[in-house]
Amino acid sequence: MTTITVAHVSKRLGTNAQPVQAIDNLSLKITSGEVIAVVGPSGCGKSTLLRLIAGLAEPDSGHILYDNVPLSDIPLTERGVGMVFQEGALVPHWEAEKSVSFFYRLRHREQEVPSRVSEISKITGFGLEKLLSRRPGHLSGGEKQRVSIARALTRDPRVFLFDEPFSNLDAKLRGAARIELKRLLDAFPVTSVYVTHDQIEAVALAKRVAVMRAGKIEQMGNYQTLYHNPTNLFVATFIGTPPINLFEGRAREGQWHGAHFSGLPLRSDLAQDTKVILGIRPEFVKLTSENADGATAGIVSAVTPFYAERFQLIEAAAGKESWLLSAAPDIRISKGETVWCSFDREGIFYFDVKTGQRIG
Ligand code: ADP
Ligand code: MG
């Protein structure tokens, strides 16, 4: 297995007249056998990062190393990169069998194909054998991606790179494919980078998740850290569904004061009236009674049940502000009703308005 090091890598794309800094001085280390996930909005550089790690593109500056050897010094045939794309790039006129056995045939080991195929079928619980005689035109989206993964696995890859492989599948199929892939990665541990815009998928497959924006990694850590201890406003808003609530307010003598919620403890070294954004996730907004400390009234504008997750999402509003809170499923609340809300102080984040950095 291989340790991947990305050291101060930058990559510019586009033309001289219209350059795009796709990757901006990015550093990252993935230890041997580790699966990391990369999430971030469209255009933030996820695919470019994968292409650089695969050696399909060269950095303008910085280095990419496999086990401390610069990628540029490793011959193509020894890099052992297995890649799976959004649109499984299968050869249209090849039967699945031919795709899956391609690398075995190169090494004159085609006799091993049936046992490897049945091994993959057994681990995933997915009948790969049934698909082998079919061409991509006769495979569903989910089946194509499974064949692509099987093909990548038969390379005995040192490095596995996934670029949103299941994003074209419907939610149910995506869930199933994710579980199969997880089993495969447990059975054949390979250093892997999994790019997705789906944070639930990221958490399901990887212990460490990198959040990217504009060619940089904003924060990397396990989901709990990203969720409960984001370093800035971007990570706080990108991670978490339903999304975090944000309120504008000002610092006054060690307290934060907003339009409706007010008087919450804040560090006292900020200049009087400094603008500060308060962030709080819906699970930390509590329903309370009128005379409770810090209670603020809101009028319920929407109630959405989440049956599987066993909560209901309530949207409440006061003046121009609105916020979300998650309530127990059995509480009866309806639209138009007045509710009293307060913040669990454990769940409060403060952010600098200008930089977005966390300041408390
Ligand atoms: P992501 O995969 O996160 O959506 P990409 O890595 O594909 O992002 O793209 C990063 C940035 O580089 C985007 O702004 C994109 O428009 C730009 N880009 C990607 N490929 C090219 C290209 N071949 N020429 C010019 N710009 C490109
Ligand atoms: Mg992409």
Distances (CA, A) of 46 to 39, 79, 195: 8, 20, 7
pLDDT for res 235: 98
Categorize the per-residue pLDDT at 305 as very low, low, confident or very high, splitting at 50, 70 and 90: very high
Residue type present at position 25:
N
Q: Beta partners for 9?
A: 26
Distances (CA, A) of 271 to 264, 276, 285: 16, 11, 28
Question: CA-to-CA distance for 150 and 154, rounded, in angstroms?
Answer: 6
pLDDT for res 108: 81
Ligand 1 atom closest to the Cα of residue 14 is: 25
Ligand 1 atom closest to the Cα of residue 40 is: 3
Domain 4-229 matching CATH 3.40.50.300: the answer reads yes
Alpha helices per DSSP H over the chain: 46-54, 76-79, 96-106, 113-124, 141-153, 171-187, 199-205, 223-228, 233-238
Distances (CA, A) of 304 to 312, 313, 343: 6, 5, 21
Alpha helices per DSSP H over 125-168: 141-153
pLDDT for res 88: 66
Q: Is 106 exposed, middle or buried (0-12, 13-18, 19+ CB in 10 A)?
A: exposed
The residue ranking higher by pLDDT, 85 or 270, is 270
The domains of the chain are located at 4-229, 242-352
Cβ neighbours for 31, distance < 8 A, ≥ 6 positions apart: 3, 191
- Say yes or no: CB of residue 22 within 6 Å of ligand 1: yes
Question: In the predicted model, what is the mean pLDDT of residues 313-335?
Answer: 96
- Say yes or no: CB of residue 176 within 6 Å of ligand 1: no
Question: CA-to-CA distance for 143 and 145, rounded, in angstroms?
Answer: 5
Q: Which ligand is nearest to the CA of 86?
A: 2
Categorize the per-residue pLDDT at 317 as very low, low, confident or very high, splitting at 50, 70 and 90: very high
- Say yes or no: CB of residue 19 within 6 Å of ligand 1: no
pLDDT for res 163: 95
Measure 237 CA to ligand 2 centroid, in angstroms: 20
- Say yes or no: CB of residue 215 within 6 Å of ligand 1: no
- Say yes or no: CB of residue 13 within 6 Å of ligand 1: yes
pLDDT for res 156: 80
pTM of the model: 0.92
Mutate to test the pocket of ligand 1, among 12, 13, 198, 218 (most ligand atoms within 8 A of CB): 13
Measure 331 CA to ligand 2 centroid, in angstroms: 42
The residue ranking higher by pLDDT, 316 or 142, is 316
Ligand 1 atom closest to the Cα of residue 195 is: 2
Residue nearest to atom 5 of ligand 1 (CA): 45
Kindly report the CATH number that applies to the domain delimited by 242-352. Answer: 2.40.50.140
Least Cα distance to 233 among 336, 351, 69 occurs for: 351
With the CA atoms of 6, 174, 313 and 278 taken in that order, what torsion angle do they form, in degrees rounded to the nearest 10?
10
Question: In the predicted model, what is the mean pLDDT of residues 286-299?
Answer: 93
Measure 220 CA to ligand 1 centroid, in angstroms: 21
Tell me the average pLDDT of the chain.
93
- Say yes or no: CB of residue 42 within 6 Å of ligand 1: yes
pLDDT tens figures, 154-192? 878 899 999 999 988 888 888 988 998 999 899 888 999
Cis peptide before 242 (omega within 30 of 0): yes
Least Cα distance to 304 among 347, 239, 241 occurs for: 241
- Say yes or no: CB of residue 41 within 6 Å of ligand 1: no
pLDDT tens figures, 63-110? 999 999 999 999 988 899 988 888 767 777 888 888 888 777 777 888
Q: Which ligand is nearest to the CA of 56?
A: 1
Measure 39 CA to ligand 1 centroid, in angstroms: 15
DSSP per residue, 278-305: EEE-GGGEEEE-TTSTT-EEEEEEEEEE
- Say yes or no: CB of residue 99 within 6 Å of ligand 1: no
Ligand 1 atom closest to the Cα of residue 41 is: 3
pLDDT tens figures, 186-234? 988 899 999 998 999 999 999 999 999 999 999 999 999 999 999 999 9
Residue 245 has pLDDT above 80, yes or no: yes
Q: Which ligand is nearest to the CA of 49?
A: 1
Alpha carbon 268 to its chain's center: 35
- Say yes or no: CB of residue 47 within 6 Å of ligand 1: yes
Tell me the residues surrounding ligand 2 (ion) with CB < 5 Å.
46-47
User: Residue 82: phi, psi to the nearest 5?
Assistant: -105, 125
Q: Which ligand is nearest to the CA of 163?
A: 2
Question: CA-to-CA distance for 74 and 3, rounded, in angstroms?
Answer: 14
Residue with tokens 């209670």: 295
